[in-house]
Structure 1
Amino acid sequence: MSAVKTLEAVARDRVGKGAARAVRRQGHVPAVIYGGGQAPQAIAIDLIRTRTLIYAGGFKTTLFEINAGGKKTRAIPRDFQLDPVSGVPLHVDFLRVVAGQSITVEVPVHFVNDEAAPGIKQNGGTLNVVLHTLALDVAPDAIPEAIEIDLTGRQIGDAIHITDVKLPAGATFTGEPDATVANIVPPTVLGAEVEAEEAAIAEAQSAEAAEEAASEDAAEGEKKED
């Protein structure tokens, strides 16, 4: 379960594009907290802190306690915008969370112990990941940082379904009940075919070069005889 993180903020009394630009010029990111049966609250958060949190990963699965002017609100990021060129955060949307509420979040999947999977280690198979994240309906204070899937003993042809995955207590998967998370596929022969084709091309080019060299030698010999 992810720990609740503190996030300092400043309440904003003005909204709109002009106000947002002014906030950004001051080294902050405009943001809004909505939901929970309350009116939206406009805030500004530190740019460097926000950028660090976003690029550290797991931002959308982290529960924050936002302190804006002494008023503390628990919320989770629902969306954020980045500048398409610089990657600088432009805006963040937070969703209020209240006791007894569950929310849907995308939790990353981590595969472990691939060295103990005979299909991969001994037989050269490849792990084909179908779902890199799992959409879970879970209580805000029970959001896992990631879902780990153990590959120990997995063979080529094995498929890992959502029913094989151990989810946190109280969490439910919101997708198809029989969804495939990953499978182990046989080693591809494409690489060997490409190598053989490249070798054949190289051999043909070498033979062609040899023929050209022989023709040039013959032409030189004829010139000398003349």
Structure 2
Amino acid sequence: MKVIAFPRTEQGSGASRRLRNAGQTPAIIYGGTAAPVAIALDHNALYHALKKEAFHSSILDMEIEGKVEKVLLRDFQVHAYKQLVLHADFQRVDANQKIHVKVPLHFVNAEISPAVKLGGAIISHVMTEVDINCLPGDLPEFIEVDLAKVEAGASVHLNDIALPKGVTAVSNDNPTVATASVPAGQVSADDAAAGDAEKK
């Protein structure tokens, strides 16, 4: 993903306000061996980019006056009630240095799992993103959680997820990622069959 930025010479709240009035968002690039650089971004382009999941968990090509740097979005502030991005922080990325970043979880195959098909269970997503460590070149846009074999009443934990090559999860324990619970008063297909057999 490519982002076009412009050098920003004026600092301070007054300068930032003038930038926003002109349709731009103040931002900063920091990290690595170079000094932090104050930049400005086109507000509308940034606003729409922030709606894309991949923008938050991908290495971005930041172009400033023809020079491209690899960066990660680290933080951004939005107005309390206006559709306005107030500021953004980007961190430089070194291809040889591991990065610590959050990536989204994508849940698949819930509808074909025994929990849902046979047990009438409801799958609850306990986590929606996960902290990982990896080299920039190995950074996935998302991590897939396959629920195809989940049974009713069971849980999926972080250690159950197959992580992409070169990616390690950052966690002190083995947190629950998803649960398959049967709603109160609901009878699974197996229990219903057993009940019918007893009546005969």
TM, length-normalised to structure 1:
0.78
- For 2:120, what is the secondary structure of its paired residue? coil
Q: Which residue of 1 aligns with 2:99?
A: 103
1:154-204 alpha-carbon deviations (Å, 9 max, x no partner): 2112221111111111111111342221121122349xxxxxxxxxxxxxx
Q: Which residue of 2 aligns with 1:69?
A: 65
1:34 shift after superposition: 0.2
Q: Which residue of 2 aligns with 1:57?
A: 53
**Distance in 2 of aligned mates of 1:168 and 1:57:** 18
- For 1:119, what is the secondary structure of its paired residue? helix
Task: Give matches, 1:165-180, under 5 Å.
Answer: 165-180=161-176
Structure index of larger Rg: 1
Determine whether 1:151 maps to 2:147: yes
Q: What is the letter of the counterpart of residue 147 of structure 1?
A: I
Q: Which residue of 1 aligns with 2:42?
A: 46
Q: Percent identity?
A: 35
Larger helix percent: 1
**Distance in 2 of aligned mates of 1:13 and 1:140:** 30
When structure 1 is superposed on structure 2, of 105-114 and 179-188 the one drifting more is: 179-188
- Whether the 8 Å CA contact 2:104–2:128 is kept in 1: the answer is yes
Q: Which residue of 2 aligns with 1:203?
A: none
**Distance in 1 of aligned mates of 2:7 and 2:181:** 53
Q: What is the letter of the counterpart of residue 128 of structure 2?
A: H
- For 2:61, what is the secondary structure of its paired residue? strand
Q: Which residue of 1 aligns with 2:190?
A: none
- Whether the 8 Å CA contact 1:29–1:47 is kept in 2: the answer is yes
- Whether the 8 Å CA contact 1:163–1:177 is kept in 2: the answer is no
Q: What is the letter of the counterpart of residue 52 of structure 2?
A: A
Structure 2 unaligned runs (5+)?
A: 187-200
- Whether the 8 Å CA contact 1:60–1:79 is kept in 2: the answer is no
Q: How many residues align?
A: 186
Structure 1 unaligned runs (5+)?
A: 191-226
**Distance in 2 of aligned mates of 1:60 and 1:148:** 17
**Distance in 1 of aligned mates of 2:117 and 2:84:** 41
Determine whether 1:87 maps to 2:95: no
Q: How much is the aligned-residue C-alpha RMSD, in angstroms?
A: 1.5
1:24 to 20, 26, 30: 20
Determine whether 1:36 maps to 2:36: no
